[in-house]
Each structure stands twice: as structure tokens, then as C-alpha cells.
Chains A and B, each alone.
Chain A
């Protein structure tokens, strides 16, 4: 039986790890991920899990250890934030290239300098081309649900790729919310067992992993990875449906909110999309703006076709970027815009960069964003690169 509980986002993700019962977890402390591993360490200390918990001396070693463990046929998890993800950088690519279905909650936090411990998405957005699948959570419920589904998605034989399950630092990780958790049996039936076709520990059939692949083979390897990422599209949707049948919470690549009749649509990801839904309701009521929200749950593989369909009839599109690609605006903006390119009647677009370093994005700010978009709708056009900064003093 499912149960309704109060948990922080970290706690919810840790609870998912408990139900996953990974063979190996290797992790290193970093704010705001720490509480997640504190909680998991309690499960280890109480014998609730069979996990070999490796408290490594750096995130680089955390990722290296789970790569070694995953190639050994173990189901593996780790978790990190910000600089920790940056230190893993090199091995993120090794994990994906070696087809290790590691699951990693990423508790989003800004990157230095200046040092800052609060939420933005520059850490995981920076890793968007590392070959990992990326899921973003709006709330603790989704953080929990995404971590469980990540196992099934990553370990699917057509996929075999690592998955980041992102949740906003502090905003989700340290805020207590009500959520529904599955009972252990339901969760474990859903998860199933992991079996790697060939393993480092298969001593009777010794394999060599991580060879040097030169001009003659490297490209084919990369295309295999590209194919796997493409295959993940259907798997993500199928797993999301299956999960929905079990729990009543169905997931896909996107979640449109009041988009059907919307003229002004705001595309975003993470916790702010929750605020945006409320803002859409209110500006519809107060300002008569036909507002909608398109939440991007899966950023890699990027749902370009689905986004183009969902935004098909919008008069104006705004994007909410909690990260910046210096010299190019926000990453979501550019990827959404390229999804729409080549389509008839491409709507004018505005990028709203917000919340860097944890700057608050209150309801009124999002409502203001909708009003700005409504102004663009009235004018019928905007500049080619209309990038605006929300809540910035200048």
C-alpha cells in the first residue's frame, strides 16, 4: 500500500535509494546533497540495505568507483551537487561511454566563483552533453518517482546509459513536502533485477573494458551511444506509463499545463514550474492572459519534436533558464528555439534568466514574466535574441 508521508527532497531521494537497495553506493559530501547521504547512511547503519557504501575521498573517486562497480555487474548509485559534479566531469563521459547505468540524484547548486551553495542549474546543464540521461523534478514527489524510474530507464537493454535525476538544491532538497511513497514490494517489483551482459567479475570469460579506440573505431562507439540515447525516448515514456499504472502518477518527456488553449506559454524545468502553474492560473484570472506552462521533465534526450507539437499554436513562447551559457543566453532557450525552427508561424520567443545562485523566484515574479510575454504578444514580435533577467538589480 502506498503511504502519504512528509519528507524533504533529499529524504525522498534517499528513500528511493533505500528501495533500490543498490549493490554499491559511493559518495562524497557536498552541500546541499549531504543530507541525502546522511539519510542513506542511516539505512546502511540499520541494515535496511545490502549496499556496500564506499565513502570516497572525492567526487572524482565516487564516479570512478561506481564505474568500476557498474562494470562489475553491480547496481550503483551516487549523488552530488555543483562543484562535485564538476569534479566528476571527466568520469561522467567514461560512465556513459562504458554504458554504465548508474543513477545519480543531482541536487542542483550554483558553480563557483563566487562560491555559492544555493540553487541554480549550471551544474547539471553544464553536463548536458556528457551522455547522461537527465530528468528534472518539480517537487519531492517527482524527485522520488524520478529516482526509481531512472533505474528502469538506464538499465533497459536498449539504453544502458547513466541517469541524472535532478532536484533543486534547498528549494526541494531541504523543504518538507507531503508525498506518496510506494510500499517496498511494489517498488521492488517495479525495479526488477540488474544483469549486465558481460561483467568485469566474469572471470571465466575475461573481457577488457576501456580500451584505446582510435580513428577506426571511436566514431562507431559514439554512434552506439547516440542510438542508445534515441532508444531512451520510448523507454522513458513506457516506463513513465508503467509507473503511472502502479501509482496513478504517469510521466512522460514533458508535462503541459493548460497549454491546450494557451496563447502565452512559458517553458521551464525544476521547481519553478510549480510556481509557474500557479502564476498561469492567476494571470488567466486577473489579467485575462491565456497562459500555459510547459514543463520539461526530460532534458536529455531532448524532446524537441514533442516541444514543437506542444507549442504549435502559441502566439508567444517564454523560457525560464536557471543557468547561463555565457555568450549565448540560457541553454533551455536555445534548445527550445531550435526545436521550433523550420516550423510555420514560429512564435516570438523571450528568454528569462532567473534565480542564479538561488535568487528567489516568487509567484509575483513569474506573473510579471507572463505579463511581459503578453506585451510581446500585443506587439506581435520581439528582438531575435530577447534575453531578460528576472529580479536583477542594474
Chain B
């Protein structure tokens, strides 16, 4: 658990810094994990558009991975994918290899 700030370490009033929820881990909420078949993926970006947790990692208009630290496993991406290249798999059944495959990396 992170250390709590003391009174005088806090900004005056109720301002706080932008975008810092990205430090948090909501991936632990997941029951099912999305697994992408990158060979089938056509980079239409529907999964990016519909991800409530901003967890589709994109580089140069290409899907390059899934951010498992934040993905809650809702499964919207799998339902909305027009080429059915995303499978939802029970988290406990996901292999290390499958997990590694979703780490952001170049896809050709």
C-alpha cells in the first residue's frame, strides 16, 4: 500500500494530478481475459473505441497489445470485434504464453 500524504504535502484545495489512475491496478477485477488473434485482427479499432478501461494498446493505428493492468475483462471488445478475433478466456486458464502474447509488441 502506498504511503499516505501528510496534510502539507497535499496541494491546496482539492486539485490533484491528471491521469494518475493509470498507476492503479484494476486488472485484478478480471474473471475472463481477452485473448487476441493478431493474425486475424484487421486493426479496425472497434475494440479501442469501445474499451471502457482504455486498455487497448495502439501504435501507429495498429493494435499491439492489451493492458492487463487495467482491463477488467468486461468482454465488450470480444462482442464488438467484427472479425471475431478476440476470445474471452477464464483468467485462471490463461497460459503464460497467452499472457505474454498480449504484451505490447510489434505486430506484422
- Residues of A with Cβ closer than 8 Å to B? 97-100, 160, 197-198, 205-211, 213, 216-217, 220-221, 223-224, 227
Contacts and interface: CB of A to CB of B under 8 A. Distances in A.
Contacts of B14: 97-99, 209-211, 213, 221
A221 B16 contact: no
| From B6, B13, B16, B17, residue with most partner A Cβ within 10 Å | B13
B15 A220 contact: no
B11 to A, nearest CB: 7
A182 to B, nearest CB: 31
Contacts of B12: 99, 160, 197, 224
Contacts of A209: 13-15
Given A220-B6, A223-B7, A99 B13 contact: yes
Interface string B1-41: 00011110011111111110000000000000000000000
A195 to B, nearest CB: 13
A98 B13 contact: yes
Contacts, number: 47
A208 B20 CA distance: 10
Nearest to B8: A224
Contacts of A216: 4
A68 to B, nearest CB: 14
Interface of chain B: mostly helix, strand, loop or mixed: loop
B20 to A, nearest CB: 9
Contact of B15 (A207, A217, A223, A227): A207
Nearest to B17: A207
Contacts of B19: 206
A211 B13 contact: no
Contacts of B18: 205-208
Contact of A208 (B4, B5, B7, B15): B15
Contact of A224 (B4, B10, B16, B17): B10
Nearest to A157: B12
Contacts of B7: 220, 223-224, 227
Contacts of A99: 12-14
A223 to B, nearest CB: 5
Nearest to B9: A220
Given A207-B18, A208-B18, A97 B13 contact: yes
A155 to B, nearest CB: 13
A331 to B, nearest CB: 28
A207 B19 CA distance: 9
Contacts of B5: 217, 220
Contacts of B16: 207-208, 211
A207 B11 CA distance: 11
Contacts of A160: 12-13
A260 B13 CA distance: 42
Contacts of A98: 13-14
A216 B1 CA distance: 13
22 contacts: A98-B13, A98-B14, A100-B13, A160-B13, A197-B12, A198-B15, A205-B18, A206-B18, A207-B15, A208-B15, A210-B14, A211-B14, A217-B4, A217-B5, A217-B10, A220-B5, A220-B6, A221-B10, A221-B14, A223-B7, A224-B7, A224-B13
Contacts of A221: 10, 14
A208 B19 CA distance: 9
A221 B16 CA distance: 12
